[in-house]
Chain A
């Protein structure tokens, strides 16, 4: 395991300045920031961002993207997340589906989906969890049966974020029975149209009352052969590699940053015409110093990816500590203000704090629980 310290080049800093300028113009002062990548679904914003070349950055120009480095993507992502920009519409397609299609997809699939992803117009959900399959993903029961020209898929996916707004989802399912000694064999990923016949999307109300989660029931849904993602039977390897390299970005440690900023604006600092008390200063200093160090870890992984390395253990460590830290920020600020929470508070900070308390448990669950991550990381440490 190794995290090399790295700095941003002049070109990377210039990119940051451009994004900051764009955000200053697009996000009016005083508007409510989104908390994290899943915070707000805003197709219009996604398209504007795409018009600047900041969606599909990992996608090569031949597929409508921009062929930018992992560090460039890091810089754009951290600016968007720190500002609380509404990136929920395109973010999963951009972070996860695009790179997966590039790595495993057919030429036809790339031509069909990547330009739309890069334009901020095609949105994907992830079809992994099921009612009886969470961390033990290989136990999925959704099944695809061979038919003329494709597959018939039946099963139920749950916790499917934004399935009611997105266009497609990548479904992990069984295309042949598990083999003796390997439950990972016989799994495949299929790209399923969320509006196809036999797909039923129903809301699962989220803890804060919003509509975010869905149950997606698939009943004999026809999926043509050309929508098999990657190799038949390689679904397990594909989803695990997909999870491994997309673990360490700013979306894993910045979700609650806007909360800290709004606290500073309303509470202990110059904006409110106050001086921080000792306790307030300690909270602010601690969170800031840890943000800086975690950011450096996360940036180091991006740099390693650009160098062609495979920092899977490092990425797991970043997500593990980053998501726990996102939660710590919430509790540290709650302890600092001593108030009774009300989501309808007239104070932007308090309203955000209420939202954060209600959504924070998801940070250490989504994309692989911290218990699973610790297992991955600990095995890597022992090697």
Chain B
């Protein structure tokens, strides 16, 4: 890890450690987010890591953003950090639109979404209904990709003119439905999407961001489970001494490492954009790891893990949500498998043996 990235991770870890304790997360689940945490992150420029400074962002690259998201995942941070930088900020920056002061989220591209942008400069109007928008009701702006007249446009839609139907994922993170009913948009909220900014690219970034969050949460789940089973005594000794429990610990550690490395490869190779094969591998591995590690960590913890206050549940409920967001392991495995089958048997090993590529 570069010195700059190590520093970023260290500073972020300190900040989350202060402002995003398990108690803070429980409190935030009631209201859906932590304004205090968001404000502190915004003050440090964290939401726009990986968005170029020329575009009003904080600079850094995709790997920096993913390292930051791993920290956020480890602390179960109740804020739209992934949506602001890697997704929304990327699209706005590339399209030359201004980054908002307040929280930024993004329409994730659900099959049932409808987006209609009509008019032109001086007369733009937006009719849209987009689902499962992370912290949609809390965001100041939501980024939409809108087809119009043969082109695709990046829209920085103000939520002040949207109606919001709240929804939540399993971790009580807001996943809201937002509707715009043909209201006018200012010219500085619309720009033609430059090459490379499209729905598939957004999905890759979304999947990579979720995989990064998962990898951070998994590392914490692993640590928590090792700690708990080392402290918990039954039959006169720590339960971690039992072979059956050791099997859980080892499986969790393995899955956490697989996810972390897959994310680091995908993020490290994103110069500047992540590739399909890297992201498909990373999200598929991370989503499966989430499933496996959550199961084994709950089994190793016993009943304490089933309580809302205990930290494990905050993490496992996120793992169970994030593994499906921006495509489940089955979805990504299928897409990856199709391409590999098209490429043929002799291409298989060269593709598998491509890992992190030297810059």
The residues of A with any CB-CB pair to B shorter than 8 Å are 1, 3, 5-10, 16, 78, 82-83, 257, 260-262, 264-265, 268-271, 274-276, 278, 280-286, 288-297, 299-300, 317, 320-321, 371, 373-375, 377-378, 381-382
Question: Within the complex, what minimum Cβ distance (angstroms) separates A244 from chain B?
Answer: 16
Other A-B contacts than A7-B268, A10-B358, A281-B336, 13 sampled, CB-CB below 8 A, are A3-B260, A82-B353, A264-B340, A270-B342, A285-B333, A289-B281, A293-B262, A293-B281, A297-B261, A321-B254, A321-B258, A382-B230, A382-B240
**CB < 8 Å: which of A3, A6, A381 contacts B226?**
A381
Would B335 and A264 count as touching, CB distance under 8 A? no
Between-chain CB contacts (< 8 Å), 8 pairs: A260-B348, A264-B345, A269-B340, A285-B280, A295-B355, A297-B261, A321-B254, A373-B250
Would A271 and B284 count as touching, CB distance under 8 A? no
Interface centre among B260, B264, B341, B354 (most CB of A within 10 A): B341
User: With an 8 A cutoff between CB atoms, is B235 at the interface?
Assistant: no
List residues 331-359 of chain B with CB under 8 A from any CB of chain A: 332-338, 340-346, 348-349, 351-358
User: With an 8 A cutoff between CB atoms, is B232 at the interface?
Assistant: no
**CB < 8 Å: which of B257, B332, B344 contacts A270?**
B344
**Interface window among B139-147, B170-178, B202-210, B241-249:** B241-249
Would B356 and A5 count as touching, CB distance under 8 A? yes
Question: Within the complex, what minimum Cβ distance (angstroms) separates A301 from chain B?
Answer: 11
User: With an 8 A cutoff between CB atoms, is B285 at the interface?
Assistant: yes
Would A297 and B257 count as touching, CB distance under 8 A? yes
Would A289 and B254 count as touching, CB distance under 8 A? no
CA distance A300 to B240 in the complex (A): 27
**CB contact under 8 A between A264 and B341, given known A5-B356, A378-B249:** yes
Question: Within the complex, what minimum Cβ distance (angstroms) separates B144 from chain A?
Answer: 30
**CB < 8 Å: which of A265, A293, A381 contacts B250?**
A381
Would A3 and B261 count as touching, CB distance under 8 A? yes
Residues from chain B with Cβ under 8 Å of A257 in the complex: 349
CA distance A111 to B338 in the complex (A): 53
Against A, the Cβ 8 Å flags (1 = close, 0 = not) of B29-59 are: 0000000000000000000000000000000
Residues from chain B with Cβ under 8 Å of A1 in the complex: 253, 257
Against A, the Cβ 8 Å flags (1 = close, 0 = not) of B284-310 are: 110010000000000000000000000
Would B352 and A375 count as touching, CB distance under 8 A? no
Would B281 and A292 count as touching, CB distance under 8 A? yes
CA distance A65 to B355 in the complex (A): 29
Would A6 and B356 count as touching, CB distance under 8 A? yes
Question: Within the complex, what minimum Cβ distance (angstroms) separates B79 from chain A?
Answer: 26
Q: Which residue of A lies closest to B359 (CB)?
A: A7
Interface centre among A274, A283, A381 (most CB of B within 10 A): A381
User: With an 8 A cutoff between CB atoms, is B330 at the interface?
Assistant: yes
Interface centre among B243, B259, B338 (most CB of A within 10 A): B338
**CB < 8 Å: which of A265, A282, A289, A374 contacts B345?**
A265
Residues from chain B with Cβ under 8 Å of A289 in the complex: 262, 280-282, 284-285, 332-333, 336
CA distance A78 to B285 in the complex (A): 21
Question: Within the complex, what minimum Cβ distance (angstroms) separates B274 from chain A?
Answer: 14
**CB < 8 Å: which of A5, A276, A286 contacts B261?**
A5
User: With an 8 A cutoff between CB atoms, is B311 at the interface?
Assistant: no
Question: Within the complex, what minimum Cβ distance (angstroms) separates B2 from chain A?
Answer: 12
Against A, the Cβ 8 Å flags (1 = close, 0 = not) of B261-285 are: 1101100100000000000111011
User: With an 8 A cutoff between CB atoms, is B61 at the interface?
Assistant: no
**CB < 8 Å: which of B226, B250, B346, B355 contacts A292?**
B355
User: With an 8 A cutoff between CB atoms, is B329 at the interface?
Assistant: yes
Question: Within the complex, what minimum Cβ distance (angstroms) separates B314 from chain A?
Answer: 22
Residues from chain B with Cβ under 8 Å of A291 in the complex: 352
